[in-house]
Structure 1
């Protein structure tokens, strides 16, 4: 990998107390975990939606009663039910896949959280120690330089002035010795803090180097897993479309064989009763029926134009 693509070569601050580079790495991991969390929630909801759809399809197929049909239409109706059941199973499988992908994202996010937090805490601690040493170093350096200037000034004054009074000479000599002691003490403290700072900075740089490497590795793993999970998720959707279309194609193939005349003929052949119509009912005149042997035969009445066909005739 090219140097400019390495985290360990790209996130250093020129100021020892600066945290811009480290903050950028921490923010990157945080934003990455947020994306993992969002994707995890997406597949959690997709799994729930598919499971809910499965329940509704199951309820629908249970309510699809068998019809007293015939021919291809009967086969198509039964196929619609069975293929809907198959579609239900496909969505149930998809729900399980989405739930598994959700678990993959959950594990990834937890791994990023644990490993990232460990290296972050360690680097933060070592950097805090280095900054503390650096602050103390600046203070002791100023003290050391001031003591050096004080000693140099006293030494210069003693060389340029000839004191006749022995007491004054001794006083100035004592002052010079004291200034020298303070300068040497400040020098010792300054050297010590420089050593401490160099050691603290070395530890922090090692931790920072390790942080860059670990954070880059975590980012590589995160991108790889997210890409793989999203790819699998789209495959699940694609497979559902294929499976769904196959179920629909099965029904379409049956319906292509459904010819209206054939369906009518099949029904007639299966349920026919007969082709003869019932006899028509005619009007029967009671008095024109077959003669009753127990009844006296009456002479016919003379016909009239008004009551020619009436049964209500005057009997004499």
Structure 2
């Protein structure tokens, strides 16, 4: 099936109507706006990534497991380090997105400059064509008016053929009317030829403009498609990078040995291997000596 091209489907039967050309220009303006929107989207996403990266970097500097020891401490240190690396990865992602947005901006500006030259040329042609069309239509009206005046003058001559008093004057008017009609006819034909030449030039330039605009549109669609594709590839690659960073933490956690950490703590901080003796009950009285008893008292000697 034959491709449909701009140059084949954006004409109009009215010579001075530019609806076909205007439709293409509107399409190009919409495309330019889309480029700008995608560009702004990427810049906004880059700002989000940058802010997240900075917050993540600040988080990686916070105390986390400072008092921990042995294998778990090593795992937590790896966890913090890879969090910091993840923040740097997000910063790199943000910069990559800004670079792609910059490319899109440069592409948009390049197309804008190329279009500007063609549009200026076409606008000048449209004004010239419109001006010449008006001039031609005005000359046509004058030509038709002069022809009617000539016919009227001829009819006056015929109606007054027997009026010798005014016939010479009527002949003179008819001759002048004929000359005026012939001059108007000459100007009208000249304007038609000039308009035809302008039309031929406009037709060629319109086809060239359509081809150029169509090429730009194809380049824009392809560029935007590739830009978004690259954007998604960056996001996917970042996910892979993040998973690799976090895999380091997982590998470190696999080396975390619960029993080893417990034994490490015991060996490092042990305070003794014998518990204190039980506290025994001591009776207050059991430790005292029994009191010394007094000798039994002797009865007093009896008095004899």
TM-score scaled by length of structure 1: 0.83
Shift of 1:159: 4.5
Partner of 2:114: 115
Residue-pair matches, total: 292
Matches within 5 A, 1:199-238: 199-238=197-236
**Equivalent position to 1:178, from 155, 158, 176:** 176
Shift of 1:225: 1.3
Inter-partner Cα distance in structure 2 for 1:302 and 1:228: 114
Range 135-144 or range 276-285, more displaced: 276-285
Deviations 1:44-66 (A, max 9, x none): 11111111112112211122356
Shift of 1:20: 1.1
Shift of 1:173: 1.1
Cα distance change of structure 1 residues 70 and 160 upon mapping to structure 2, 3 Å threshold: same
Shift of 1:284: 10
Partner of 1:23: 22
Deviations 1:221-269 (A, max 9, x none): 2112111111111011111111111222222233234343343233323
Partner of 1:2: 2
TM-score scaled by length of structure 2: 0.86
Partner of 1:307: none
Partner of 2:300: none
Shift of 1:203: 2.7
Inter-partner Cα distance in structure 2 for 1:66 and 1:261: 18
Inter-partner Cα distance in structure 2 for 1:136 and 1:254: 87
Equivalent residue of 1:56, what SS? Answer: helix
Inter-partner Cα distance in structure 2 for 1:287 and 1:271: 41
Cα distance change of structure 1 residues 95 and 144 upon mapping to structure 2, 3 Å threshold: same
Partner of 1:76: 75
Deviations 1:184-228 (A, max 9, x none): 110121022112211222232233222212211211121121111
Partner of 1:310: none
Partner of 1:294: none
Partner of 1:51: 50
Shift of 1:302: 5.5
Inter-partner Cα distance in structure 1 for 2:272 and 2:48: 55
Matches within 5 A, 1:123-162: 123-159=122-158, 162=161
Matches within 5 A, 1:282-301: 300-301=290-291
Inter-partner Cα distance in structure 1 for 2:244 and 2:283: 68
Equivalent residue of 2:14, what SS? Answer: coil
Verify the 8 A CA contact 1:64 1:81 in the aligned structure 2: no
- Where do 5+ consecutive residues of structure 2 fail to align? 294-304
Verify the 8 A CA contact 1:58 1:85 in the aligned structure 2: yes
Inter-partner Cα distance in structure 1 for 2:290 and 2:143: 164
Inter-partner Cα distance in structure 1 for 2:186 and 2:77: 97
